[in-house]
Amino acid sequence: MRIAFLTNILTPYRVFFFDCLFKHLGADNLKVFVMTEELPLRPWRYSDLKREYTELLKGLKVFWHGNDYLFSYNVNKSILEYKPEVLIIAGSWTYPTTWQVMMSKRLKRHTKIFFWTESHNHTGLSNSTKTNAYIRKIKKNLMERFDGFCLPGKYALETISELVDVSKKQIVHLPNLVDNKYYDMAGEIREKKQELRYAKKIAVNQFVFFTPARMCDLKGQIPFFNNVVDAIKGKTVTFVLAGEGPDRAEIERIGREHGLDIRIYNYQNQGQIREWFSLADAFLLPSLSDPNPLSNIEAAWAGLPLCISCYVGNGPELVIDGENGVIFDTLDKTSVCERISFILCQDKTWIKNASEISHRKAKEGFEADSESKKFIESIIGTK
């Protein structure tokens, strides 16, 4: 079976997934059409990540009110020439390229078309408002044209169900995947935990929460630190943040004002992130809006208890609240304090068990090779 993807840009983690598919499908049965070479705030270029199965489309980029709109001149012609039995569109529904494809009656006669979406309506952003009725009607009209949807989990299914009758559509499970063998090694590296902490000047008795994320409104660090103060009074807790962003100065100010041990590191490479996973006691992600973050999955493979907000898209698939971590509402002080206090009160036996559960959850639902095979089988089953 020939399977094609249409995506906005290439990213390392998407290429990792496509490489897994390519291994199982072969050269003649996978094609990834890419709308543009690069986009703002994305550090990757097509030329650095291209593969033998990828094709860069010619087109036009328009930026308006902080959004990008991609128009590809030859998209329908290129797809028709490849003759896929299934096409999966990944990217914004607002892209003119997406509409070009979905308006092609000729293409839809020969190819089943799926929309790959991770978005969901769970958000804590105060400026997030319901889509106006006119825009919702347009989106609904487009979504109903798809034969099915590729979705990562519960939140995404709930959201698409608000637009279309999913009982009349084909739903294919498609989680984000990471290089699990790489992050699985964090467990071995953890044997050097004391040495790693000494190098970072972190005491062995400190409880370390690790957050690899950009410091901005979406990631919720400011309300989290304002709300967590009471939960850590009198406790030896260190928060390690790896990333950059506009909220850094305010986070540092909150730390000074409340006496929080917040240590901020700039961008960390893959190897450094794995070391942080190895020396940390728990993973922390207090996002106010996060469709389907990779860092959760990486941390689960690394065997960390997961402390995440209720606004994190893949939370239901990764966290059993109270067993391998906690889920809290970043904006609710009581929720934050209760759930973080719960983690800090646990003994080594609980932490060890939570670590094993996190790793098991990762292995059951996010193992790259097996999930790629399952995806291919599911897609073949839609024909």
Q: pLDDT for 121-179, tens place per residue? A: 999 987 654 567 888 999 999 999 999 999 999 999 999 999 999 999 999 999 999 99
Are 164 and 257 members of one domain?
Answer: no
Are 235 and 332 members of one domain?
Answer: yes
Q: Residue 54's domain is classified under what CATH number?
A: 3.40.50.2000
In degrees to the nearest 10, what's the CA dihedral of 72, 74, 80, 84?
-40
Are 100 and 226 members of one domain?
Answer: no
The residue-averaged pLDDT of 308-313 equals 97
Can you give the pTM of this predicted structure? Answer: 0.93
Are 140 and 203 members of one domain?
Answer: no
pLDDT at position 336 is 98
CB atoms within 10 A of CB 19: 14
Do residues 241 and 318 make contact, with C-beta atoms less than 8 angstroms apart? no
Residue pLDDT, tens place only, 255-275? 999 999 999 999 899 999 999
- Does 309 have pLDDT greater than 70? yes
Are 220 and 306 members of one domain?
Answer: yes
Q: Which amino acid appears at position 365 of this protein?
A: G
**Total domains, the chain:** 2
Are 184 and 81 members of one domain?
Answer: no
pLDDT at position 63 is 85
pLDDT at position 35 is 96
Do residues 148 and 110 make contact, with C-beta atoms less than 8 angstroms apart? no
pLDDT at position 131 is 63
pLDDT at position 128 is 53
pLDDT at position 147 is 96
**Domain hosting residue 283, numbered range:** 180-365
Confidence band of 27 (pLDDT split at 50, 70, 90): confident
State the Cα–Cα distance between residues 124 and 309, nearest whole angstrom: 10
Are 330 and 373 members of one domain?
Answer: no
State the Cα–Cα distance between residues 62 and 295, nearest whole angstrom: 30
pLDDT at position 42 is 77
State the Cα–Cα distance between residues 377 and 371, nearest whole angstrom: 10
The residue-averaged pLDDT of 348-354 equals 96
pLDDT at position 381 is 86
Are 190 and 80 members of one domain?
Answer: no
Here the tokens at position 257 are 């004002």
| Half-sphere exposure (Cβ direction) of 200: Cα atoms closer than 13 Å | 23
Region of poorest pLDDT, from 41-45, 311-315, 354-358: 41-45
pLDDT at position 382 is 79
Radius of gyration of the chain (CA): 22
Are 261 and 141 members of one domain?
Answer: no
State the Cα–Cα distance between residues 103 and 350, nearest whole angstrom: 54
Are 51 and 138 members of one domain?
Answer: yes
Residue pLDDT, tens place only, 39-94? 887 789 999 999 999 999 999 988 887 788 999 999 999 999 999 999 999 989 99
Please report which helix (H) or strand (E) contains residue 149, including its range. strand 148-151
3-state secondary structure of 334: helix
Percentage of the chain exceeding pLDDT 90: 88
Confidence band of 307 (pLDDT split at 50, 70, 90): very high
The residue-averaged pLDDT of 107-118 equals 94
Are 346 and 200 members of one domain?
Answer: yes
Please report which helix (H) or strand (E) contains residue 135, including its range. helix 133-143
The residue-averaged pLDDT of 228-234 equals 94
Are 340 and 208 members of one domain?
Answer: yes
